[in-house]
Amino acid sequence: MDAVLRHGCEAAFVSLLVEFGANLNLVKWESLGPEARGRRKMDPEALQVFKEARSIPRTLLSLCRVAVRRALGKYRLHLVPSLPLPDPIKKFLLYE
């Protein structure tokens, strides 16, 4: 997340990382100030999305999806469709 903010990426990238469970606490607040060095101009909209995401707790639904996906691991995500779960839950786990 820190690299996305430092390199001036768009707010859509920040939203995507938040949605997929990025750890927002790894970004140091002092690295976001105007005196921070070693970065391009920060996108103000991206910074706003980050600050809002950091100030509002994630929903239990979102946390559960991230936890299940992490428990499965990236090499077993393709097996989600074969799980004995209702289709809406499978689609939810696969971000469909």
**What pTM does this model have?**
0.73
Query: CA 40, CA 27: separation in Å to the nearest integer?
Result: 16
Do 94 and 69 contact (CB within 8 A), yes or no?
no
- Predicted confidence (pLDDT) per residue in 28-81, tens digit: 765 565 555 555 677 889 888 998 998 999 999 999 999 999 999 999 999 999
Query: What CATH topology corresponds to 57-96?
Result: Elongin C; Chain C, domain 1 (1.10.750)
The angle formed by the CA atoms of residues 70, 18 and 86, to the nearest 5 degrees, is 50
According to the model, what pLDDT value does residue 62 have? 93
In the chain, CATH 1.10.750.20 covers 57-96
CB 30 within 8 A of CB 65: no
